[in-house]
Structure 1
Amino acid sequence: MGEENIRFLTIWIILGNIFGTFSSVPEATTTTVFVTTPPVPTTAEWITDFSDIVSKFSLRTAEIPDDDMCYIVAGRPETIKECEFNAETQSFIVIHGWTVTGMFESWVPKLVSALYEREPTANVIVVDWLTRANQHYPTSAAYTKLVGRDVAKFVTWLQKELQLPWERIHLLGYSLGAHVAGIAGDLTDHKISRITGLDPAGPTFEHADDQSTLSRNDAQFVDVLHTNTRGSPDRSIGIQRPVGHIDIYPNGGTFQPGCDIQNTLLGIALEGIKGLQNMDQLVKCSHERSIHLFIDSLLNTQQQSMAYRCGTKEAFNKGLLVTTSTRSAPPAAPRCTSRPVK
């Protein structure tokens, strides 16, 4: 057996284990998950009790986007000054999703850098809920309510402490983090300006109520990118139903170009042992593409990506788009409404 064949055989064995693990996630939703969730708040005082906050909030810098150098702690105003928070500009709060490794994924510093390149004077805060995100998927999914409460408390405290305009607060959540952002927005006593959902997680959320998921009621403007909706409802990695004011489904939203198994396996095989470290890309390639498309929209200001309005998924598949274009449309889509993806 040749060396390349051995590589492929090894990869297929590992691949089977990975897909076996992930495919069991939706089935596990019927398993009893022991997560203590506080009762629904009935008074206004709960949001000022910071003693139960577990999540950490790091103000990252453009110079060191890949490390947590300074934490802002709710209830401790001195940490705002220590971290050199700029109260006169835009604030972005980035929320990661489920993690197998228990560590931040490589996209986090890339998004931080892109946000600073677009808004050099901004504050980019990364939410660290790794200890809760590094659990069996149904457990981490259940924890989104607690993490959402943490974020709601933090944002409300920071806003009141500095009298920040709510219009300058923008939450960005990926996968489970998108639902964390939605829950936080639902709990604040004033609507957050904007929430961006980057392929919100599907399993256990496809049929959940608005209080448990990201929804258009959670902010003044909710925009969502769906990039991995392949499979039956509640079994696809990303949520299938629209949950925002604008829901964009790049390439139809089911899966993304270059993420097919054959191409990914070939790339991993050619890298040898090093390639085994990237096996998770087989599962999350299309899922994570939502982040990289958003990063592109931040950096590629000269040639913005365009979204075209379509009545139904079936109409999209047939190339039948609706209304009249306000800008030049590609030849394959002559009847559409175009909108910059920002």
Structure 2
Amino acid sequence: MRNSVPLLCLWSFYCCFAAEGPALPGPEGRLQDEPHKPSDVPAAATPPVRFNLRTSEDPEHEGCYLSLGHNQLLEDCGFNATAKTFFIIHGWTMSGMFENWLYKLVSALQTREKGANVVVVDWLPLAHQLYVDAVNNTRKVGHSVARMLDWLQQGKEDFSLGNVHLIGYSLGAHVAGYAGNFVKGMVGRITAITEVMKCEHERAVHLFVDSLVNQDKPSFAFQCTDSNRFKKGICLSCRKNRCNSIGYNAKRTRNKRNSKMYLKTRAGMPFKVYHYQMKIHVFSYKNMGEIEPTFYVTLYGTNADSQILPLEIVEQIGLNATNTFLVYTEEDLGDLLKIKLTWEGTSQSWFSLWKELRSYLSQPRSSERELNIRRIRVKSGETQRKLTFCVEDPENTRIAPGQELWFRKCRDGWRMKNETR
């Protein structure tokens, strides 16, 4: 099963929020996976915010703890002041324990950025509260992160905020924003990972992990005003920064305003799919009124052939007009060679049978329902290439329920625009 995921689930920004509140120290302590409840242990014995430098990909390994004012710990823990430094900040928790995504993200960062410092910001005692209380605590935790960064700047001459990347998940994104606002200087990058709209709660963080481990298969998202226009395939342009890779590989742009970006994904990693815009001009020489055809296409390429792909009709088919569709494949088909267009007949599915029965009295009989299609224009979202496919038999452009048409690349129908992402 494949899903449409708005890029708003996952994006980066550069500071931040107006905030106030006292700074919290970053005391030493052991990173634990047991539930943290303030009532279980005296407050003095329970550090509210801890900074765990992960020295191993093994989630059972406790790592090494950094503490404000303890310069020797930086040496003992192997902190590399000249390397990239990542701070992973979790969000609100019901269980008081770290979720599995955190360890996957740690491992992905350590694999992608060899020698980097990966620090887990443990604020479980303050996150394992009523949600409203946890929200109020984000400001305090952000202040604590900022103090740790300020201390690193003062204690290590080679340490640069430009090499720091704060990655906040859920309420951790708020913490990262506050930290970026409080710190003395500008953090290199802040990534907010959170769910919005129809996203599964952890979907966004898995997309981010995917962008780290599958860098040869980057997922692209496209700017669009709403999901309906995206489903129509209208929004596959990369001009003027209208498309971008998502997650860790996202390119920095200078947009004057916020924008919505959309993409399709596979059900699991790697999430990358290949988007195609299809423009089909549908002719009708008969007065057919409203019509609800069920179209499918099969794409044939130099690398592979696609499965049978449905053409989703968002509104209705426009007769004697150009209709735009979005299709996507899970494999890289290479250069497209031909297309098979199928109009599903009533015997092919119960769904189409129901549609046929429902519209039996209002539509002409199957023998009278006939459309003419001469060309299909295709644009690849990932490469921005445009192709035109002509019907295989120019003398036969008709298609009716239960029939199919074949289209091959027109001789003069290929062009590629040198558009930059």
Q: TM-score, normalised by structure 2?
A: 0.47
Please state if 1:156 is matched with 2:154.
Answer: no
Instruction: Say whether the 8 Å CA contact 2:147–2:183 is kept in structure 1.
Output: yes
Residues 175-204 of structure 1: CA deviation (Å, up to 9, x unaligned): 0001100010011121100011111xxxxx
Instruction: Say whether the 8 Å CA contact 2:276–2:381 is kept in structure 1.
Output: no
Summarize the Cα distance change of 1:50–1:175 in structure 2 as closer, same or farther, 3 Å threshold.
Answer: closer
Q: Root-mean-square deviation (CA), in Å?
A: 2.9
Return the match for 1:173 from 165, 168, 175: 168
How many residue pairs get matched?
216
Residues 232-286 of structure 1: CA deviation (Å, up to 9, x unaligned): xxxxxxxxxxxxxxxxxxxxxx23xxxxxxxxxxxxxxxxxxxxxxxxxxxxxx1
Q: Residue 159 of structure 1: CA displacement?
A: 2.2
Q: TM-score, normalised by structure 1?
A: 0.57
Q: Residue 318 of structure 1: CA displacement?
A: 3.8
Please state if 1:91 is matched with 2:37.
Answer: no
Q: Residue 302 of structure 1: CA displacement?
A: 1.3
3-state secondary structure, aligned to 1:301: coil
Match of 1:146 in 2: 140
Please state if 1:287 is matched with 2:201.
Answer: yes
Please state if 1:310 is matched with 2:310.
Answer: no
Instruction: Say whether the 8 Å CA contact 2:162–2:186 is kept in structure 1.
Output: no
Please state if 1:300 is matched with 2:214.
Answer: yes
The one-letter amino acid of 2:192's match is G
Please state if 1:70 is matched with 2:64.
Answer: yes
Q: Residue 329 of structure 1: CA displacement?
A: 5.0
As a proportion of its length, which structure holds more strand? Answer: 2
Counterparts of residues 124-135 of structure 1 (less than 5 Å) = 124-135=118-129
Return the match for 1:122 from 116, 126, 139: 116
**Cα distance in 2 between the residues matched to 1:173 and 1:108:** 11
Counterparts of residues 16-27 of structure 1 (less than 5 Å) = none
Q: Residue 146 of structure 1: CA displacement?
A: 0.6
The one-letter amino acid of 1:69's match is G
**Cα distance in 2 between the residues matched to 1:49 and 1:128:** 13
Residues 112-158 of structure 1: CA deviation (Å, up to 9, x unaligned): 11001001110000000000110111111111011111111111111
Please state if 1:113 is matched with 2:107.
Answer: yes
What are the ranges of 5 or more consecutive residues in structure 1 without an aligned counterpart? 1-38, 200-227, 231-253, 256-285
3-state secondary structure, aligned to 1:125: strand
Match of 2:20 in 1: 40
Match of 1:60 in 2: 54
Identity of aligned residues (%): 39
**Cα distance in 1 between the residues matched to 2:61 and 2:233:** 45
The one-letter amino acid of 2:64's match is C
Summarize the Cα distance change of 1:49–1:122 in structure 2 as closer, same or farther, 3 Å threshold.
Answer: closer
Match of 1:186 in 2: 181
As a proportion of its length, which structure holds more helix? Answer: 1
The one-letter amino acid of 1:298's match is L
Residues 39-70 of structure 1: CA deviation (Å, up to 9, x unaligned): 837xxxx7697789831000012343444331
3-state secondary structure, aligned to 1:54: coil
The one-letter amino acid of 2:219's match is S
Match of 1:229 in 2: 196
**Cα distance in 1 between the residues matched to 2:236 and 2:139:** 38
Please state if 1:330 is matched with 2:289.
Answer: no
Match of 1:320 in 2: 234
The one-letter amino acid of 2:151's match is W
The one-letter amino acid of 2:175's match is V
What are the ranges of 5 or more consecutive residues in structure 2 without an aligned counterpart? 1-18, 28-43, 244-273, 278-325, 328-378, 385-421
Instruction: Say whether the 8 Å CA contact 2:108–2:212 is kept in structure 1.
Output: yes
Q: Residue 74 of structure 1: CA displacement?
A: 1.2
Summarize the Cα distance change of 1:97–1:49 in structure 2 as closer, same or farther, 3 Å threshold.
Answer: closer
Larger Rg: 2
